[in-house]
Amino acid sequence: MTEATLDRGQGLALWRQIAGSLEGEITAGQRQAGEQLPTEAMLSAQFQVNRHTVRRALEALSARGLVRVEQGRGTFVAEDVLDYPLGGRTRFSETIRRQNREPQGKILSLRDMAADSQVAEALGLRRGQRVLRVQRLGLADGRPVLVGTHHFPLPRFNRLAELLHADGSVTVALAACGVADYHRRVTRVTARMPTPEEAALLQQARTRPVLASEALDTDAAGEPVDFTLCCYAAGRVQIVVEGAG
């Protein structure tokens, strides 16, 4: 679309026309899922408008889920949303592989810390008891989809930090600590705005909400193993609640 095709002065805002043009290219398959759109400067030159007009058009497309804006990287055509089931046995890598995508987990930090009241209550500890706090980034096909902060009771999982450094898989590390399997006791999900750190890690705009969850996993004996605070990139993930029967 060139400057001559914009219908100027006829009552339809220029940003709406630009948004409509880009949407038409996306729905017609001229722009593929995951494809990066031209920069604001390039679109401004193409449509002969100021960058504020282009930005408003992109914001409208982002609000409708047609594109995603990544801080410091640009604007991309939105991919299919990833289903993330929450059931009695939730495993990140298994979930991603079932949808023909490649999972990856990056350990961001490992820290021995005193449990605050929220963590202590969830794990059945006294406030101030030691836990291992593990912050982890989950990716699918190289795209960040979640940031999880795990809390494991100490001294039971003293070896966990070393094991996670070696592999990065929580399931593998827990198995090496004698927890062959574990089950989700409870998950609570809400929506909120991301912190600046979360937005940067998830490569999304700070104005776009995330899905936040609190989850408790227990071993076969019902003992708490892991209390996790997690946030999901809402534009790339939808939570699926699995029934018992």
pLDDT tens-digit series, residues 136-153: 999 998 889 999 999 999
pLDDT tens-digit series, residues 199-242: 999 988 788 889 999 999 999 999 999 999 999 988 788 888 76
Q: Look at residue 87 and tell me whether its pLDDT is greater than 80.
A: no
Q: Does the pTM of the predicted model rise above 0.95?
A: no
Angle at 148 between CA 146 and CA 153, to 5 degrees: 165
Whether 76 and 35 have beta carbons less than 8 Å apart is answered as yes
Separation CA 32–CA 80 (nearest Å): 11
For every residue of 14-33, DSSP letters joined together read: HHHHHHHHHHHHHHTTSS-T
Residue 39's closest CA among 75, 68, 2? 75
Residue 111's closest CA among 91, 90, 135? 135
Determine which helix (DSSP H) or strand (DSSP E) holds 37, and give its type and residue range. none
Separation CA 49–CA 59 (nearest Å): 16
What residues form DSSP beta bridges with 186? 216
First to last CA, the chain: 52
Q: Domain residue spans in the chain? A: 3-77, 82-241
CATH of domain 3-77: 1.10.10.10
Q: String of b and e for 212-242 (b: at least 16 CB within 10 Å)?
A: bbebbbbbeeeebbbbbbbbbbbbbbeeeee
DSSP character at residue 197: H
For residue 223, CA distances in Å to 11, 92, 182 come to: 65, 21, 10
pLDDT tens-digit series, residues 18-62: 999 999 998 888 888 788 999 999 999 999 999 999 999 999 998
Mean local confidence (pLDDT), 107-128 = 97
Separation CA 171–CA 179 (nearest Å): 9
What pLDDT is stored for residue 243 in this prediction? 60
Q: Which CATH architecture does the domain made up of 82-241 adopt?
A: 3-Layer(aba) Sandwich (3.40)
Separation CA 185–CA 188 (nearest Å): 10
Residue 180's closest CA among 221, 151, 149? 221
For every residue of 107-175, DSSP letters joined together read: EEEEEEEE--HHHHHHHT--TT-EEEEEEEEEEETTEEEEEEEEEEETTTTTTHHHHHHHT--HHHHHH
